[in-house]
Amino acid sequence: MKITDIRTVVVGNPWKNWIYVVVDTDDGFRGLGEATGGLSTQPTVAAVEEVKHMVIGRDPRDIHAIWNELYLAGFLNINREMSGIEMACWDILGKSLNVPVHRLLGGKVRDDIRVYANGWYSGPRTPEGFADSASEVVAKGYTALKLDPFGTAYLALSRSETREVQALLRAVREAVGDDVEIMIEAHDRFSVGAAIEIGNWLEEFDVTWFETPVLSNDVDALIEVAKRVPVRVIAGERMHELHDFARFLNADVTDIINPEPLGVGGVWRTLQIAGMARAHHAQLAPHNAESPLKTMIALHIDAVTPNIYIQECFDDFLEPWVSDVLHGFERVQDGKLRIPDTPGFGVELDETEAAKHPYGKSNFLRMFRPGWERRDVAHD
């Protein structure tokens, strides 16, 4: 079996253009991976075009050899085009053997995984609006939800902003009750001092974690904050190298990390990080802010990893046409996702439907701009 072509398909989701990596073979098998990445749509598409000549003609089942060649060729840098190609090769391997990817990784240790909702708070930025949206999430069966309540704040919160954020969180906690987990996302926005101040008053709301309160590839800053607040601090989505995770875990200041499979190089590297976490008695909550394909890929990682705490999921809060573009992805039921048993990752891309939703220059989540949390599409 040989790779005959690698190409990208961009789908214009309103708040993030999704990038799919399609790998074709001479045996007729087609693999699907994802390389979505915020404001880097066109650069990533170009990067796939630039590196594909190194992979065409190779056997897609030689996944580690292909990944390592791309890693060395990129001067020891990990990027999303590598991850997308790696994932597509796993998909081909599973399809060629007629087994799900998790079977290739050693077999599943669970039949389903609890998920937490994200992307749900798209209504009015008021305590009542957030409370109503949170209540709807719980009514769907979710036992955990995450939100970034900090609006456009950067580096610090003013006193009025602090009161506003506390009012939002108090309303959400009262709406969902004591048994639902609340995760707080900060999107890397605060200084160390501000993060410590916020992390201390967050204890009032019984939050499960305070995510990326400072620039999350500044491991020393993360450690400093985690040592000085009473709530759990987690990070990982902006870390790329194994040694960054090792430094954070070695400090013994957290027991949950959230690596982004696209950012660390794909499926296999995520499993390596899970092993590192287990050595520190820590769990994973894999980051997942892309399309339902990425959710399905995460499920195969979750399936074989004993130390998964929970899985992030946006899929209930996407555009209604998504199921026309992607076929076969699992849907959340009672706050959980079932581990799929279809060959490969179990998802197929309808390129005819995908073409109806082209790349859009405004399809970006512009943090620190008023209204970003409502997923407003910019027109500038």
Residues 6+ apart with CB under 8 A from 119: 314, 317, 318, 375
Which residues share a beta bridge with 369?
A: none
Distance of alpha carbon 236 from alpha carbon 244, whole angstroms: 9
Query: Are the C-beta atoms of residues 332 and 315 closer than 8 Å to each other?
Result: yes
Q: Where are the alpha helices (DSSP H) in the chain?
A: 41-51, 63-73, 80-97, 101-104, 127-139, 159-176, 192-201, 219-227, 242-250, 261-264, 267-279, 292-304, 322-325, 351-354
Q: How many CB atoms lie within 10 A of CB 31?
A: 27
CA distance 21 to 15: 19
Q: Active-site residue among 53, 64, 102, 187?
A: 187
State whether residue 38 is helix, strand or coil: coil
Closest CA to 256 of 315, 210, 204, 321: 210
* 300 assigned to active site: no
Structure tokens at 24: 């074709």
Asked if 187 is an active-site residue, the reply is yes
Q: At what angle do helices 267-279 and 63-73 cross, to 10 degrees?
A: 90
Rounded CA separation 308/284 (Å): 5
**Which residues make beta-bridge pairs with 185?**
211
Number of Cβ within a 10 Å radius of residue 38? 15
Q: What's the CA angle centered on 288, arms 13 and 358, to 5 degrees?
A: 15
Exactly one of 102, 287, 300, 357 is catalytic; name it: 287
Catalytic residues, by residue number, are 187, 287
